[in-house]
Each structure stands twice: as structure tokens, then as C-alpha cells.
Chain A
Amino acid sequence: MIPFSAAISIRDVARHARVSISTVSNVLNHPELVAEQTRTRVQEAITALGFVRNDSARQLRAGRSRQIALVVLDVTNPFFTDVVRGAEDAAEERGVTVVVCNSSSRVDRERRHLDLLEEQRVRGVLITPVDDTPTSRLEKLIERGTPVVLVDRGSGWPNRCSVAVDDLYGGRLAGDHLLAQGHRRIAFAGGPMSVRQVAERHSGLLGSTAGVAEVVAIATPTLSVAAGRAAAGLIADLDPQQRPTAVFCANDLLALGVLQEMTRRGLHVPRDIAIVGYDDIEFAAAAAVPLSSVRQPREQLGRTAAHLLLDEVGSDGKHEHRHVLFQPELVVRASSDFRRRP
């Protein structure tokens, strides 16, 4: 049942004023095109019937808006803003706009955003969820018929699509590269380990280096530039004989912090210490020692997620859910472009 379905329509107004529907439409949109006498008659009919021309009403009839939402964990992280751009491009091709909601990794904010989005009848939601337990707000949203696609999360759930990048493989790529460059003692900087992406990148590195190189894990409280600077301080303070010769960082923000602190302390990157980041954000290439990084297809992630969502919206329930897993690739730049003897 759609509320207000019995509301006065433009058809009623036309009948009452004994004019065509397009004449009423002209009175509403281009009054200068309509003879004054006709215009008066139509306006009297509008008043008499209490007709409200209103876009909310239009939206109620259509049931759904021409808008999808993208709920991100951190709108200040360039990773997510690139995902946004990809989703926007795909949505725009299909005449849909994207609004961005920032959950700041907080469950309460995520819930309030989803409340409002459901009330506004958005056509669908792309989300990297904070809360993906079976009792979450997101679960209710899906049950009540709003299509959802998970972004940067593998799913396995039967009732939604997902797009993600293989983080385990990304960690392996970084490890294989550093081994090939002759490193035998490697630091991993990242945290908290409860973040799935961090744990998987770390596992990938361990898998690649097992039995060949030693890995020292430096836990960071956040994935920020400042945390990277602090981690670099810990590494640089180690006895040069014991010090790792390379650092693999769980994201590029950390790697930029490490680069900055190593440079400040007079250590040469990559000769004294090599650095590999993760995400390949624009600022990675723009660092004065351009950063090697594991590239995620961020825009493609957003584009694919939006396409899956809009396919589901247009499918009348015949949509088959898909789980798309992208493979990352390593981009080698100056920060690790130095071969040392093992």
C-alpha cells in the first residue's frame, strides 16, 4: 500500500477545470503560455480540490527516488573518496545521483543514516558497514526491501551482493617484492589488527616470507600519517644491525608518515630503508620519494558496486546476488626501487 494514493491528482484538476492535463501542467510550469482566463479557471480548480503539486508526492507515487546512497567509514580517507567517484560515474550513466554519508566507523551514526535513508526511500544503499551482525540496522533495511551492496567487504550472505579486494593476496605481493629486492628483515606497520583488512594484509606478508625472512610487527593505534611517524621512530631507534631494511605499511597514510620520519632522521629511502604502502592513493605517487604501493581498483570497486545495485533495483526480484573479488596489483616506485644483497 502506498500512502496518499487517493490524493487529488493533476487528472482531477484537469477534469474539474475542463481542460487537458497538459494545460494544467503548463499552468504549473509555464503559466505565461496559458491564456489568462484558462489560467484563472485552473487555479480555481486547484484551490477548490486542494491539489498540492509536490515533488514528495511524485516520489510517493514512484515509490523510490532517483538517488542511491554510499555510506563510508571515513570520508577523509582518499580510498573512500575514490570509491565515491567510481560509484558516481556508474550511477550517472543510469540517471541516478549518489549521496555520500559518513559513518565515521560509528555504529550509532550508521544507524541514524540508515534510518533517514530508508525514510527518504532511497533506491538502494552501497555500504562498508560498521555493524554487520545479523541483528543490525542494515539487516532490517534489506528485509524491508531496500537493495544493499557491500563495498570492500566479502559477503557470503545470500541476500546481497558484495565487492571486495583480495587483501591476503595484496600482502603476498608486497612480501614477494621485498624478498626479490633482497630484504630478509621486514617490518609490518599497521593496526588495529581487529580491522579485517589489516589482519589479512599482515597474514599475506607472513605467508610470502615464511622461512625466508623475519617479520617484525609494529602495531599502530590508527591508520594515519601521525601513527606512521610514530612507528618509524620505533623502527629507526633499533640497533642498525638489527633494524629491518624494509617496512610494509597497512595503508598509504601510514607509509607517508614513515617516509617523512625516516627522511627527517637522515635515513635514506630506499637505500637505508625501503617502504611499501597500500591503496595507491594519489598522494602516494605525489610523495617526494614516490611510494611503492599495492593498488586497489578503487574507482572500479565503486563502479561495480553501483552497477550491481542498480541491476538489482531494476530486476523485479529476479536478480541473482554476486560476490565480486578484485585482485590488487603492486606498483613499484622509488621508495622500494633498490636491490640489496641478501
Chain B
Amino acid sequence: MAKTGIKEVARRAGVSLGTVSNVLNRPDTVSPHTRKRVLEVIAELGYVRNDSARHLRAGRSRTVAIVVLDVSNPFFTDVVRGAESVVEEAGGMLVVCNSGENPSREGRHLDLLEEQRVRGLLITPVDSGRYERLERLVERGIPVVLVDRGSGQANRCSVAVDDVLGGRLAAAHLIECGHRQIAFVGGPFAIKQVSDRHAGAAAVIAENAGSSLQIVDTPSLSVPAGREAAEKICSEPAGVRPTAVFCANDLLALGVLQGLTAAGLRVPDDVALVGYDDIDFAAAAAVPLTSVGQPRELLGRTAAQLLLEESEDDGRHGHRHVVFQPQLVIRQSTVSGAATASGRRPSQRQAHQRR
């Protein structure tokens, strides 16, 4: 369908093209009377400023995109909410793209976002080996901030939570509760968060003679994958079976909880359970989950702030890598009688920054 152009607006309002453009871009420079007339014509004709055309000239858009691994994981939707609040305050809008942990879908999203010349991109990449694709966006002047992933790269910012420390916190808590045979449920290990959380737990096990960490590898970080992992654990005879399970995220932990309960095992008496992320559903589980809390909204907010800062100050921006500290939230899945769901929330977290 034919679109009304700016020329048509100018002709009808009896003003120059430059005046229409001023009304759209610098309304303060146009007299109220003229402005009103132009706006009336715009409304009457249904003229819509064509952003694509404007990008050709200004090279800028008001859209910031965030590409997440799994839009159905509450961890990411909380990060989205944090990023959204900052982007909107600055007058932009955030759109969400879901890679579904699928590299080719991620690639298609990146292609389109590049074509649209979005203002900037927040992303948790599917595979840490595929940074080249992001390189091209950076070269074309679209700033990229990595979310939940330490970057160490000189040409972009990152925000992350110290996942190795998180793994340490979980394992140390289980050791303190007297557990020696512990299972780590998580995967795929190509996802850096998974391997880091495992590494943290493994380090604690190595420091404690007589303790062991068994890996139950999962194909995804989802509730059904947790249920399957629980079946494997339950099939082992008591005595050999781990007495505690540390899961790479809360979705897995909820699946494990369900699987253990279905098999007649009690949490925490027969098997203690620790999750990761402290999503709202962790506290709401009928055995409230002990979990490693991440400052999810703060992560999103910080990422968006770094991005806007970079997109605004033409080349003088110094890239930063912000790492937040996770906190263990203890509930009944590891300690009978611990504070219930509404109990302690992770308090003020401290961030330290590496330049």
C-alpha cells in the first residue's frame, strides 16, 4: 500500500520540507502555530515517519535489542525487566529476541538487528566460541554488551555474576551440612555459566578430603531435563546414591525436586537440593529451594547503562567488565525448618569492576 510521504505533508500544510522535518526532529525551533498546522496534516494524512529512511541519514535508532538464551526462563525475563527500565528512561524501547539456545536462530536475529541498525545489543551468546559474529556488529558501529558472561575482550563491555564463586558457595554449604557424596546436575557444558558453576563446586570438593562430586550431564537447563536427571539419581542404590544435589539452575532443581518426590525420596532428609538463580518459583516450590541468588534486574539495568553510555559518547567510552557477587539463599530444601519462602532475600550486593 502506498505510504504518505513527507512531501505530501509539506504541500498540504503549505510549508517547506525543512519545516516538516523540524516539526518532527526539533519541534522547539518551529512556531507553535506552524507546528500545530503541520501536526494536524500529519494526523489527517496518517503520515508515519519512516525509521528506515531516517536511519540512512542519522544511522541511529531508538530500539535496543536483547538476545536471550531462553525467554521462558524467569532468570532472563527479570534481566529483561531491568534493562527495559533503563532503556525506557532514556527514551528508547527494548525488544526481546529469543535464541532458544539455538545458534542458527541467534544468527538470524543478529542479521535482522544489524539490518535495522539497532541502537545497541545486549546478548547472552549461545556458544562462547562464536564471538566473531558479534565482532562484525561492533565493527559496524553497533555497540554490544555481553550479559551474564565475563568478556575480557577489549572492544566491548560485559556484565556477569561470578559463577565460580556461586558454585563454591553452593558446595561449601552442602559440605557444611555434612554431605560428602554430592551430584552436580547441569549441561550442556559449552554454556560457560554451567562449566563455571561446576568448576566452583569441584574446587570446594577438592579441598575437602573424602568428598566426591558426580556429574549428571543434562541436554538442556529445563524442568523436564531435571526430572530425567532425578530418575538417574534415584536408580542408584542407597549408600552409593548422592545425598545432595547441586543444580546449574532452578528449572533443573524444580525438575529434580519433582522427580525425587515422585520416587518417594524426601527433600532434604534423603537428598538435599540446591538450585541456582533464585527465581520466584524457587521460593514458591512446596519444598522451598535453597538457591544461589543473582541480582537479575541489576544485571539487566547495568548492562543497559553501559550500552547507552557507549552509544552516546562517540569513541571515548572506556569498556568495562562488571562482575557481581552471588549470594546463597538458604531454605528448606537443604535445612529442615529454614526460613520459608518469604524469608531472606539476597540483600545489597556489591559489585567489583575490572578495567
Docked-complex contact B56 and A4, CB < 8 angstroms = yes
Q: With A52-B56, A56-B56, A65-B112 given, is the CB distance from A260 to B341 under 8 Å?
A: yes
Docked-complex contact B280 and A225, CB < 8 angstroms = yes
Q: Give Cα distance in the complex from A333 to B283, angstroms.
A: 21
Q: Give Cα distance in the complex from A78 to B74, angstroms.
A: 8
Docked-complex contact B258 and A2, CB < 8 angstroms = no
Q: Give Cα distance in the complex from A288 to B281, angstroms.
A: 12
Per-position 1/0 for A1-35, Cβ under 8 A of B: 11110000000000000000000000000000000
Docked-complex contact A120 and B52, CB < 8 angstroms = yes
Q: Is B77 interfacial (CB-CB < 8 Å)?
A: yes
Per-position 1/0 for A32-63, Cβ under 8 A of B: 00000000000000000000101111111000
Q: Give Cα distance in the complex from A181 to B116, angstroms.
A: 56
Docked-complex contact B55 and A263, CB < 8 angstroms = no
Q: Is A341 interfacial (CB-CB < 8 Å)?
A: no
B contact residues around A144 at 8 Å (CB): 1, 3, 46, 48
Per-position 1/0 for B234-257, Cβ under 8 A of A: 000000000000000000001101
Candidates B52, B56, B65; contact of A99 at CB < 8 Å? B65
Docked-complex contact A60 and B50, CB < 8 angstroms = yes
Q: Is B157 interfacial (CB-CB < 8 Å)?
A: no
Name the residue of chain A whose CB is nearest to the CB of B95: A99
Q: Is B214 interfacial (CB-CB < 8 Å)?
A: no
Candidates B54, B223, B261, B284; contact of A282 at CB < 8 Å? B223
Tally chain B residues at the interface, Cβ within 8 Å: 62
**Distance between A25 CB and nearest chain B CB, rounded to angstroms:** 17
Q: Give Cα distance in the complex from A264 to B170, angstroms.
A: 25
**Distance between B110 CB and nearest chain A CB, rounded to angstroms:** 10
Docked-complex contact B50 and A283, CB < 8 angstroms = no
Docked-complex contact B53 and A56, CB < 8 angstroms = yes
At the interface with chain B, which of A81-89, A186-194, A202-210, A241-249?
A81-89
Name the residue of chain B whose CB is nearest to the CB of A119: B51
| Most chain A CB neighbours (cut-off 10 Å) among B54, B77, B80, B286 | B286
Q: Is B62 interfacial (CB-CB < 8 Å)?
A: yes
Q: Give Cα distance in the complex from A101 to B1, angstroms.
A: 25
Q: Is A113 interfacial (CB-CB < 8 Å)?
A: yes
Docked-complex contact A116 and B93, CB < 8 angstroms = yes
Q: Is A75 interfacial (CB-CB < 8 Å)?
A: yes
Q: Give Cα distance in the complex from A253 to B87, angstroms.
A: 28
- List of 8 A-B pairs having minimum Cβ-Cβ separation, nearest first: A119-B51, A288-B286, A55-B115, A81-B72, A100-B96, A145-B1, A76-B77, A99-B95
Can you offer 25 A-B residue contacts whose CB atoms are under 8 A?
A3-B5, A54-B56, A56-B53, A56-B55, A57-B52, A59-B52, A59-B116, A75-B96, A84-B98, A98-B98, A100-B97, A101-B96, A116-B51, A120-B116, A140-B46, A225-B280, A259-B286, A264-B340, A283-B223, A283-B281, A286-B255, A286-B285, A288-B257, A289-B286, A290-B258
By a beta-carbon cutoff of 8 Å, the part of chain B in contact with chain A is 1-6, 46, 48-56, 61-63, 65, 71-72, 74, 77-78, 80-81, 84, 88, 93-98, 100, 105, 108-109, 112, 114-117, 223, 254-255, 257-258, 261, 267, 280-281, 283-288, 340-342
A sample of 12 more A-B contacts (CB under 8 A), given A144-B46, A260-B340, A288-B285, is A55-B114, A56-B53, A56-B115, A59-B115, A76-B74, A88-B98, A97-B112, A116-B63, A120-B61, A144-B48, A229-B341, A286-B223
